[in-house]
Amino acid sequence: MELKQAIASRASVREFTGDEVPIEDLREMVRLAGRAPSVNNAQPWRFIVVQKRALKTAMADAVRLKLQELLPEPGCDEQEGRYKALCTYCTFFEHAPAVVAVGTRNYEAMLDKAVERAMHISSHELRGHPDEASLGASIQTLLLAATDMGYGACWMTGPLVARPELEALLGIEHPWRLGALVSIGRPAAQVQPTDKLPVEQIFELRA
Ligand SMILES: Cc1cc2nc3c(=O)[nH]c(=O)nc-3n(C[C@H](O)[C@H](O)[C@H](O)COP(=O)(O)O)c2cc1C
């Protein structure tokens, strides 16, 4: 597949066939994700592949429990519907053949310490959170690799409402933390790219 075609046809996929994702395919996606740019080439990422049903269920249960704690009991049908949609948004990874838990760690450069000493502001904020941005670059590369290989995927941070619980289940320890989950599998239906703003609305020229 051409890169442009992979970029244009990628869309978040949340329903999958039951087909397993071979470990070699997941390793290849991760190899490509590891090619992404990162601040000072820090590569602040680790990709933990979860395929066991019991672990996926335990993770989804932890997220459901957290949502119950955070949100009041739905009082009417409309709220009930929205609650269910939110719950699905945060837990559908349970039904994905493969889940990639992406671990990340903070990056601190000499420059950051100097900025904070001299300017008394968060260097990370000033620099646009370069470690988070690096993680994003690798996840987008993972999504494109999955698309290129005929898989569907979805980047997920909703489940991170239960981040400590998920980290405990996944054995992620300081200085690492969970940055996102990516659900991967063969799409259950044909993938329809999501509408985006036309280029005229997002392209500006200062000539
Ligand atoms: C940082 C980030 C977090 C996201 N978290 C979730 C999530 O928790 N659950 C979910 O279903 N989709 C999640 N998404 C997918 C977005 O909903 C999706 O990218 C957006 O609706 C645009 O659709 P597209 O990916 O098909 O272009 C996330 C996307 C990003 C970039």
Question: Which residue is closest in CA terms to ligand 1's atom 4?
Answer: 156
Question: Which residue is closest in CA terms to ligand 1's atom 13?
Answer: 156
What residue ranges line ligand 1, CB within 6 angstroms? 11-12, 14, 89-90, 154-158, 194
Question: Which residue is closest in CA terms to ligand 1's atom 31?
Answer: 155
| 67, part of any domain | yes
Instruction: Provide mean pLDDT across the span 102-107.
Output: 94
| 207, part of any domain | no
φ and ψ of 190, to 5 deg: -60, 135
Rounded distance, CA 122 to CA 102, Å? 25
CA of 140 to the centre of ligand 1 (A): 11
198, 142, 95, 60: CA torsion to nearest 10:
-100
Question: Where would I find the H helices in the chain?
Answer: 3-9, 23-33, 53-70, 77-91, 110-119, 123-126, 130-148, 163-170, 199-202
**What would the two tokens of residue 100 be?**
């990639």
| 59, part of any domain | yes
CA of 78 to the centre of ligand 1 (A): 23
Each residue's pLDDT tens digit, 8-54: 999 999 999 999 999 999 999 999 999 999 999 999 999 999 999 99
| 204, part of any domain | no
Report the domain count for the chain: 1
| 198, part of any domain | no
pLDDT at 74: 73
CATH code for the domain in which residue 127 is found:
3.40.109.10
| 19, part of any domain | yes
Domain of 59, in residue numbers: 3-187
Each residue's pLDDT tens digit, 51-63: 999 999 999 999 9
Question: Which residue is closest in CA terms to ligand 1's atom 6?
Answer: 156
pLDDT at 152: 98
| 111, part of any domain | yes
Query: 81-85, 110-114, 178-182: which has the highest mean pLDDT?
Result: 178-182
Give the closest residue to 168 by CA, choosing from 37, 10, 61. Answer: 61
Question: Which residue is closest in CA terms to ligand 1's atom 20?
Answer: 12
| 41, part of any domain | yes
Instruction: Provide mean pLDDT across the span 172-186.
Output: 98
**Which among 12, 91, 161 is the best mutation to test ligand 1's pocket, defined by most ligand atoms within 8 Å of the CB?**
12
CA of 120 to the centre of ligand 1 (A): 34
Alpha carbon separation from 198 to 5, 7, 140, 203 (Å, rounded): 17, 15, 20, 9
**Which among 14, 155, 183 is the best mutation to test ligand 1's pocket, defined by most ligand atoms within 8 Å of the CB?**
155
pLDDT at 44: 97
